[in-house]
Amino acid sequence: MSDATVRSTKTRRGAGLGERAIELFLGACGVLSLFTTAGIIAVLAFETWAFFREVPLSAFFFDTEWTPLFADKHFGIWPLLAGTFLTSAIAIVLALPAGLLAAIYLSEFASARMRRVLKPALELLAGVPTLVYGYFALVLVTPLLQRVIPDLSGFNALSSGICIGIMIIPMISSLSEDAIYAVPNTLREGAYALGAGRLATIFRVVLPAAASGIAAALILAVSRAVGETMIVAIAAGQQPRLTLDPRVPIETMTAYIVQVSMGDTPADTLEYRTIFAVAAMLFVVTFAMNLVSHRLARRFRVAST
């Protein structure tokens, strides 16, 4: 064997090793995302475990009062869940019809050029920082609503819910529009051939065909509304109460975490651990919804191809 061949095999083997190292490094970058999920679960589980060693599960799930920062401590999660449910429900009641109608317009009625302009324009709504929506809810929406509803409190679930709703309209409209747009034109043509009008075609043929994609969009939007923090922290109040009255101050799970974080609760106390227990609850709820949404979206993708 000549010197040259030896050298070339050597460099080639060296290159192979380098290639391998690079692949390992890139793989590590990918695996970091798994560590992120694991880290979230570990941090929440660790502190929540410490919390439940002092507070029995029954006090968390069956008490109806949440007063961990007071002298008379109660740890019932329901008032916070009710607050979160209320603001999210208001948001969805507003955003689902608006988002769906907008999606129908963009997909079925707008010209291709209008669609190219309007869709990103609508998505700007989701790009505005939620802090700004919080300001909007507190400074503009609440005073406006107070003219119509005189006994509306300065902090309330209604204006926060409305602002969350505005924020998630583009989530619903964009994802639903993708699903509606993906419905094959042959289905529409088939409906027209059978004598169906445009409305009947949309409501009886197109929307049912896009249903799983729309459902995925809806669940993702609910999950976003549940996890929304700054709007409710600024405009919904800090009074956990078990109510469905949208006019009074309430507190959501996220707003409670903000309240404790901004206060001066010392670390490693029971009061401090409450935020991890609440965050664990929030994580479980949103994670479950994201999983379901992902499944539905995949089914819709399989069905449409």
Partner 1 sequence: MLTSTRRRLLRERLFVGLCASAVVIPLLVLALLVGHVALAGLGRIDWAFLSGYPSRRAATAGILPAMVGSLYMIAITAALALPVGVGAAIFLEEYGARSRLAAIIEVNIANLAGVPSIIYGMLGLGVFVRLMGFGRTLIAGAATMALLVLPVVIVSSREALRTVPYAMREACFGLGATKWQAIRQVVLPMAAPGILTGTILAVARAIGETAPLVVIGALAYVTFLPTSPTSQFTALPMQILNWVSRPQEAFVVNAAAGIVVLLITMLVLNLAAILLRNRLQKRVY
- Nearest-CA neighbor of 239 among 89, 79, 71? 79
User: Rule CB under 8 A: is residue 257 a binding residue for partner 1?
Assistant: yes
Q: Which is nearer to partner 1, 67 or 290 (CB)?
A: 290
- 64-72, 92-100, 182-190, 209-217 -> range binding partner 1 (CB under 8 A): 92-100
DSSP state of 255: H
Q: Which is nearer to partner 1, 243 or 292 (CB)?
A: 292
Candidate list 152, 258, 277, 296; residue touching partner 1; CB under 8 A: 258
Q: In the complex, what is the shortest distance from the CB of residue 105 to partner 1, in angstroms, rounded to a whole number?
A: 4
**Identity of the amino acid at 33:** S
Candidate list 247, 283, 299, 303; residue touching partner 1; CB under 8 A: 283
Candidate list 1, 4, 34, 302; residue touching partner 1; CB under 8 A: 34
3-state SS assignment for residue 116: helix
Q: Which is nearer to partner 1, 89 or 98 (CB)?
A: 98
Looking at residues 121 to 180 of the shown chain, list those that interact with partner 1 (rule: CB under 8 A). Answer: 121-122, 124-125, 127-136, 138-140, 166, 169-170, 173
Q: In the complex, what is the shortest distance from the CB of residue 244 to partner 1, in angstroms, rounded to a whole number?
A: 23
Q: Which is nearer to partner 1, 219 or 250 (CB)?
A: 219
Please tell me the count of residues contacting partner 1 according to CB under 8 A: 89
Looking at residues 185 to 244 of the shown chain, list those that interact with partner 1 (rule: CB under 8 A). Answer: 197-199, 220, 223-224, 226-230, 233-234
Residue 76, C-beta contacts closer than 8 angstroms, at least 6 positions apart: 59, 60, 61, 62, 63, 64, 65, 66
Please name the residue that has the structure tokens 């009008």.
197
* DSSP bridge partners of 75: 66
Binding mask 108-127 toward partner 1 (x if CB under 8 A, else -) reads xxx-------x--xx-xx-x
* DSSP bridge partners of 66: 75
User: Rule CB under 8 A: is residue 29 a binding residue for partner 1?
Assistant: yes
Kindly calculate the radius of gyration of the chain based on its CA atoms and give it in whole angstroms: 26
User: Rule CB under 8 A: is residue 37 a binding residue for partner 1?
Assistant: yes
In 149-210, which ranges are continuous DSSP H helix? Answer: 157-181, 185-193, 198-200, 207-209
Yes or no: say if 251 and 80 are a contact pair by the CB < 8 Å rule: yes
Q: Which is nearer to partner 1, 56 or 129 (CB)?
A: 129
Residue 240, C-beta contacts closer than 8 angstroms, at least 6 positions apart: 65, 66, 67, 79, 80, 83, 250, 251, 256
